[in-house]
Structure 1
Amino acid sequence: MSSQEVKGTCCQDHPDNTVERFCTTCTKSVCKKCVMSCYKDHHDMIGMSDAIEAFNKQVTEVIRSAEDVKQELENTFHSIMDDKADFESHVKMIRDVINMHKETIVSKVEEETKKLLLDLEDVCKQRNDAIEGQVKELESHQMEVQSLKRSSLETMNKPEKTKTLDDINTNIHAVNQNIKEMNSRYSSCGNNLKPNFTFNIELDDALTKGLGEIASVDNRFILDKDDRSITVSKEQTFVVKAECLDKNDTCKVAATLITPSGEKTATEVEDMGNGEYRIKGRCDKVGDWKMEVTAGVAHFKGTPVKIKVEPIGLVQTIAAHKHIEYKISDGVLDSDGCLLVSSDCNELLKFTKSGEFVANIKLAQNAMISRMHNMGNGHIVYSDIQRKMVVMLNNKFEEHTQFGKGILEWPMGLKVKNEVLYVADIHLHCVCKFNVEDGSMLGKIGFQGAGKFHPYDITLTRGGHLMVTDRSHHRIQVFDANGTLVKILVNKGKEDGNVLYPCAIVTDMNENIIISSMNKLQLFDRNGIFLKRINDFNDALKNPAGITVISNRPQMIAVADKDNSVKIFNY
């Protein structure tokens, strides 16, 4: 409506007058009389054109808001319809798959049924043929006996027919013998023939468990891709990560372990907050397990988790002696996932985890490798007891840097952390520290002086503590970042839980500690509490040297044994 049209409009309070202005205090159009009244009361008034323009802007905004809401409603409607169509399409697809699966099974069952019935008919034919032959033979003998009987009657009252009667009697006995032979013959090859049906247990098992399973899956709930199919050791505690994309969802998450035989047991679910969950599990039997993860009635995307449970103990032996004459000393994983095995010479052997030989790698002519460490950046460092130093190799196994030349005397175990190289030296009776960048020596850890301390191997905790195998004193010592002795972690002893001549020490992903000593491999927690012995007396572990962790799921280590083999254990 234009300002001209409004001015021609009658005032609500004075119908004889037309409106002149707009009173924002009264929020109405007013005539000349109203203006005077509003003016006396100090009301705010504006021109009609300004009032109309301002009001129309508000109307336009309201209309625009209404259009936005309308569009949002339409979008929501279309989204619902699209979801409905997608759901129906998905249901149709599953229905088609179920029917196809049914048809496949029915077709297979019909085919197998036809074959079985044909086999049954063959057995019936064999039996019927045997019976028919027996009946024909009996009928022939029956006719012969009837004939002999008539002949016997004809000799009645005729003593002169004695010889004839004797012949008849002989023939009767012959027929009787034939009947006995026939019964014996058919008894052994025909009369005892009966069909037998053996059930296919696998098919019966499949039909008992059903053709499959329908489960509701909510795509907001997902399992980590790496956790949807896992391999673990028997009795290994593992963690599966799950997430709810709707951080505000309050559904209760539950998890159930299913044994190979189908038994179900609830397992622990930890709510980490912000829609994240950690599900702990432990399988006490070897075989194929599953784990269902649900939120209310809905299954997580990626469930059920397929869990392959492997036996613990020695699972493989790699015969390194077939490829090298020298004693092997250590092993590490290369960047390509293969296992590098060192020896008391200038050669590295390379194997796949399955034990297949890959390559023989030559190093410096006079090198003699004791221990190795993969730095994780494509470089490997090794202690060289022949040249009395530590060498860093690049990703082409070429010498890149040398450490401790002129300082080290008998370098053994070594590790790198935070750009610091730690080297255990038996003859120096300490652990030496070097700067990885420039090779400079940073200091020493341990007691000085002969007979005080014989560090053989080392490892570092996540907290920065240094654990050292003191070989001659049969113990494991722990030092803090400043080199101060914190405690004796493991003491001397023949029994499990103690060590004699500890050789190698490593930590796994769970901060558990693995120690080789004499002919034993032992597992401790991070506080030095004995958990179990990894090897068995029948594993033929002669004198284990270097250890490397090659897998977390399943928990697996490779041990360089002095019988020139690499033994791989699940633990």
Structure 2
Amino acid sequence: MDTCIHCNNKFDFFCTCCQLTFCKDCDVASCYQNKHYVITMNTAVNRFKKELDEVKKLTDDIKLKIEEKRDSIMNDNNNFQRHKTACKTDIDCLKNKVIKEVEDKCKKLISDLDNLSEERDKVFPNKVDFFDSVMEDVDRLNLSITKLCNPRDLNRLERFEKDLSLTRNKVIDDDQRSLMPKFIQSKRMNDMISCNIIGEIIAYDPDYEVVTCTTNKLVQTGESFTIDVLSSRLNQACQVVANLTKSTGERSNVEVIHVSENMYKIKSLCNSEGDWKMKITVDNRNIKGSPIDIVVVLRLVCTIDNISNNMGKKNTKRVVDVMSLQDGSILISNGSCEVLKFNQSGSFVDSIDSSQNVCNMCKLDDNHIVYSNHVNGPCIVLCNDQFKEIRSFGKDKLAYPSGVTVNKPTRVVYVTDDQHGVLKFSVDNGEYLGRIGRTIIKSEDKRPEDEEMNGPLDVALNHDNQLLVADTQNSRVQIFDTNGEFVSIAICAGQEDGKVICPCGIIVDEVGNIIVSSNNMLQLFNKNGVFIKRIDHKEDG
């Protein structure tokens, strides 16, 4: 209403306390008496319009925020669905890969079973025919015997008896034993299925991201490292929390530095080698790129470069094998009857004489040492820690032995031989226990099959007591189980990092990582044969 109902005049004033409008002729003594705040109508209208504009602006801002939030939620949901689809695709690909590998392995098992059956089928009809023929001969003799009726037939009876004895001997001498097929399921299968070997699903905060490394990082013991984290949120207070834990449960201190509103630096170091995992969270949620697998390897201590200067009796200028002792000292063999001893700093300590030429070495828990000799009279030697011989064995089985390793619980020594693959002996009595793999001569037009070896030079046992064989001339590393059955090709042939050409040395460190020496390269792999890094110096050549 634009006019006063009492005076029919236009409104001139507005009481901000009573929220009433009135004209100049109205009695508003009570408003003034009560010291109300009375303003002109123009002022009231302008103030109202201003507040109305502010409310409309606030409404528009809220609507804009709602639309932005809604769009953000929609985009977030679309991203989630896209990542969900990608995860399902990755899981399906992994599943199909595992299924294919299992199917291929099962086909190989079926093929082995069929081959065994074919071998039996070749023998079985002949066996049946043989005994049918023998039975006919016995029946004929028996018929002739029943016709004998007086003492004048004694000579004939003796002849029949002789024929029966010969037939009996043929039956007895025939080996009726046959091999029965049996499927032996891998003991690790159930453990692998029950363990988290395929992967896991985690939820991460996409507003925070690791920006300085991939999901794997390799450092040396005692080496400090830094990981950068970037945030799309501008935070005044530090929101990032980091924890660094070893697979054994050991923890290491971590420092989180809030560099700027959206940048964090995480600093830490590890004093023991092994597999570590850094978990970076915000509000107990992983960020993008977390957790980070960190592999810690031993730091290079020193280089021993004065070996040839200390080879007195046979200066071959060649290192065949290196072995560390419990006191930290280092033994170096060179294929002669002299073993050199150095301390941890690389200083020469002493030379030790042995009764035979020392090539590759392996220490036992009882301070004894097993070594190979391929120079004169190839054999394996068991000796004490001063290389005094206890026994030697394998002379009638070995041609050119090189790498040696011992399964300490079973006391079985495994030896690579240039002509025979991998041979097994008992450490305690030198008894020959069999061989692993098949040896071949490398052919340019034929790819070597699984289990086939050509000039293997070294062997090692992993933490599952599986055998790792440096298949030198085939340029690969093969894995065999405790029964000597082929498991897989752990490392393939190739010139690039992560592959090998003519591997000549292989060891497994304390945490299960594999170190392979090949073609002037020293490479570190994890326990599954996945390449980690090169650990040699470029200038070593």
Decide which structure has the larger Cα Rg and report it. Answer: 1
TM-score normalised by the chain length of structure 1: 0.46
Query: Which structure has the higher relative contact order (CA within 8 Å, separation 6+)?
Result: 1
